[in-house]
Structure 1
Amino acid sequence: MGETEQAVVKASQSAAGSRFVLALLSLTKPKQTGLLLVTAVGAYVLTAAPTLDAPRLVTGISALALAISGCTVLNMVLDRDIDAKMDRTASRPLPRGEVSASQAVVLGASMSTAGLVLAGMISATFLAVVGAGLFFDLVVYTAWLKRRSPLSILVGGVSGGMPALAGRVLALGRVDAVGVMLALGVVLWIPAHILTLATRHAKEYEQAGVPVWPSVYGERSARRAIAVGSVLGTVVLTAAGLKEDIARGALIALAALGLVLDVLALLVMFSPTDEHNWALFKAASAYMLGAFLCLTFGAVLAR
C-alpha cells in the first residue's frame, strides 16, 4: 500500500472515530443534561453565595453530570425500539446502528456508577438525592411506567427536580424547604416541556405503543395540565427567590419570565394551534434556563 493510500485509510479511520465519539456524546443529550446542571449550579450559588467552595462545587457538579449523562444513555438503550418506530427519534445513534446496545450499556453504567461514587464522597445525603434522581428516571419512569401509563411523567418528573435539590444539598448539607421548592418548581414545569412535545407527536407515540396524555385523556386535558403546572411552577420558583432575598432586579426578571411562560400556557389552553404549542415548548426551556440564572446572579448581587 502506497503512502497516499495509507493517508486515505488513516483519514477514513480518523473520521469514523470522530463520528463514533459524536454518536456517544449525543446519547447523553448534552442540551438536556446541561439545562439540568444549570438548575443544580443555580441552587448551589443561591444557597452558598457569597462564599463558594469551588472544589466541592466542581466535585458535586461532576457527580451530577456523570449520573445524569449515564442515566440518559441507559434510557436510550431501553427506548431504542420505540425510537426506531418514530420519525423524530429514528436518527438517534442506537436505532441507526452507529453505537451498539452493549457499547451504550457499558458507557451508561460506567458513567452512572462513577457519578454515584463521586456523590458518595461528598455526603450520604447528596448521594441519596442523586441516587433518587437516577432511580426515578431509569427505573420508575422509563423501565416501569412509560409504556404503561400516560401519568408516567408525573412520577418520572420527580427525577427532573433532583438536580436542583442536589445543588441545594451540596451547599447546605441537608434537605430544607427551599430545596424542596426549587425541585417542585422544576417538577411543575415538566408538563410544559413534555406534554407540548407529546401533543405535537401524539400519533407517532401512539404508533410506537407509548400511551401519552394527549392521546389517552385528550388534548384539552393536556393543555389544562400544562397551564396549571406552568402557573404553579413559576409561582413556586419566584417564591423561592423571594424567600432567599435575591436582588430586586433579578426577582423582577424572574417574575417577568414566569409571566411570559404563563401567558403562553394560557394561550395554548384557550387558543390551541400547532404554532402556539411549539412556541410554548421552546419557551419552556428558555424559562427554566433564565429562571435559574436569575436565582444565581440574584443571589450573588444581593450578597
Structure 2
Amino acid sequence: MSTSIQTRLIYYAKLSKPRIIWLLDLAALAGAFLVGKISVLPLIAVLLGGTLASGGSMIVNEGVEIDKDKVMKRTSKRPTVMGYISKKEAITVGAALLAIGTAIGLFANPLTSFFILLGGLIYIFVYTVWLKPRSPLNIVIGGFAGSAAAWAGYAAMSDNFTLSSLLLGMLIFMWTPGHFWSLALRYKDDYDKAGIPMLPVLLPERDAARYIAISNALMIPFALSIFPFVGIPYAIVTTIMSAILFYFTIRLLRNPTGKEAWTSFKVSAPYLAILLITVIIIKFFAII
C-alpha cells in the first residue's frame, strides 16, 4: 500500500468522526444484547454495516458543509476544508460507504438493513441538508439517527421492533439535544459565524443553559424506563450517573459559560456510554 493511499485513508478516518461512531456501535451492541440472545453473524453484520454506514454519513456531512466548516475554528482543519478531500469526492465516497453498510446489514435481515439506512438518511437529509441550516430543532429531530443504531442492533438479533428497543432508541433521542446544545454553547461564536441556527446561538447563555437542563431532565425518565427489561443493577447505575450529570447541569445553570458548557458536554458522552455498557454487561452475564 502506497503512502499516498495510507494518507488518504487517514483523512477519511478523520472525516468519519470515530468518536461518534464508537458510541453508535455501543448503541447497536446494547440493542443486540437487550434481546437476550446473541448470534455471531448478525452481530458482525450490524456492527460492520453500521460502522461503514455511519462513517459514510459523517463524510457526506463534511462534504456538504465545507463552506461552513471553513469559518468555524473548531472545524477549520478538517481534510475537506484543507483541500485534501474535495466536496464531490467526500459525498461520493460517503454515499458509497452508506450503501455498502446498508447491504452488509442484509446479512442479518432486511429490518436491520432498513434501520442502518434510516440512520444515515436522517443524518444526511433531515439533519445536515434540511434542518441544520434552517431550524433550532435541527439536533432534536436529528437525534433519531442515533436511535436507529440501537434499533438496528435489536433487529439484528430478533428481526423485530418492540417496546424495549423503542425505549432504548428514545433514550438516545432524548439524550442528544442536551449533549450537542452544550457543545454549541461552548462554540457559540463559531456557529454564529457559520450562520447555523443552533439553539444556543439564538438565545442568551442563561436561557440556553435552561434548555439544556430541561432536555437532560426529560431524558432521565427515559433512561430509567429501560430497567424493567434489564434489572435493578441498571436502575442503580442510571440513578447514580443521572445524579452526576445533573450536578454538572446545575453548575451550568448557575454559571452559563463556555467553560461550564464544555464540561457538561464532556460529562454527557460518558453518561450515555456507561448506561449502554451497563446494559451490555448485565445482559451478557444473563446470556452465559
- Matched residue, 1:186: 172
- 1:212 correspondence with 2:198: yes
Contact 1:36–1:160 under 8 Å retained in 2: yes
Cα drift, residue 156 of structure 1 = 1.1
- Matched residue, 1:35: 23
Cα drift, residue 93 of structure 1 = 0.3
Structure 1 residues 285 and 208: CA distance shift in structure 2, 3 A = same
SS at match of 1:96: coil
Contact 1:192–1:265 under 8 Å retained in 2: no
Q: Hey, what's the Cα distance between the residues in 2 that align with 1:123 and 1:56?
A: 8
- 1:172 correspondence with 2:158: yes
Cα drift, residue 18 of structure 1 = 3.2
1:137 to 123, 130, 134: 123
1:77 to 60, 63, 78: 63
- Matched residue, 1:295: 279
Q: Hey, what's the Cα distance between the residues in 1 that align with 2:108 and 2:55?
A: 19
TM-score by length of 2: 0.93
Render the CA deviation track for 1:63-112: whole Å, top value 9, x for unaligned. 11111111111011001110011111000000001222233223212111
Structure 1 residues 18 and 128: CA distance shift in structure 2, 3 A = closer
Cα drift, residue 15 of structure 1 = 4.6
Q: Hey, what's the Cα distance between the residues in 1 that align with 2:263 and 2:181?
A: 13
The letter for the 2-side match of 1:244 is: F
- 1:245 correspondence with 2:230: yes
2:189 to 200, 203, 209: 203
TM-score by length of 1: 0.89
Q: Hey, what's the Cα distance between the residues in 1 that align with 2:221 and 2:286?
A: 21
Contact 1:227–1:269 under 8 Å retained in 2: yes
Q: Hey, what's the Cα distance between the residues in 2 that align with 1:173 and 1:60?
A: 12
Measured on the aligned residues, the alpha-carbon RMSD in Å equals 1.8
- 1:24 correspondence with 2:12: yes
Cα drift, residue 16 of structure 1 = 4.2
Structure 1 residues 98 and 258: CA distance shift in structure 2, 3 A = same
**Structure 2 gap ranges (5+):** none
SS at match of 1:88: helix
Identical counterparts, % of pairs: 25
1:236 to 222, 225, 243: 222
- 1:272 correspondence with 2:242: no
1:286 to 242, 247, 270: 270
- Matched residue, 2:42: 56
- Matched residue, 1:153: 139
Cα drift, residue 171 of structure 1 = 2.0
Cα drift, residue 172 of structure 1 = 2.3
Q: Hey, what's the Cα distance between the residues in 1 that align with 2:23 and 2:230?
A: 24
Contact 2:63–2:86 under 8 Å retained in 1: no
Q: Hey, what's the Cα distance between the residues in 2 that align with 1:158 and 1:222?
A: 22
Contact 2:230–2:279 under 8 Å retained in 1: no
Q: Hey, what's the Cα distance between the residues in 2 that align with 1:114 and 1:166?
A: 15
Contact 1:251–1:298 under 8 Å retained in 2: no
Contact 2:205–2:256 under 8 Å retained in 1: no
The letter for the 1-side match of 2:164 is: V
SS at match of 1:211: coil
Render the CA deviation track for 1:120-164: whole Å, top value 9, x for unaligned. 343332232222211211001101111111111111111121111
Structure 1 residues 112 and 285: CA distance shift in structure 2, 3 A = same
Cα drift, residue 181 of structure 1 = 0.8
Q: Hey, what's the Cα distance between the residues in 2 that align with 1:147 and 1:286?
A: 28
Q: Hey, what's the Cα distance between the residues in 2 that align with 1:126 and 1:250?
A: 26
Rg comparison, structure with higher value:
1
Contact 2:102–2:113 under 8 Å retained in 1: yes
**Structure 1 gap ranges (5+):** 1-12
- Matched residue, 1:10: none
Contact 1:43–1:168 under 8 Å retained in 2: yes
Contact 1:251–1:294 under 8 Å retained in 2: no
Cα drift, residue 250 of structure 1 = 4.2
Cα drift, residue 279 of structure 1 = 1.0
The letter for the 1-side match of 2:169 is: A
Contact 1:149–1:211 under 8 Å retained in 2: yes
- Matched residue, 1:46: 34
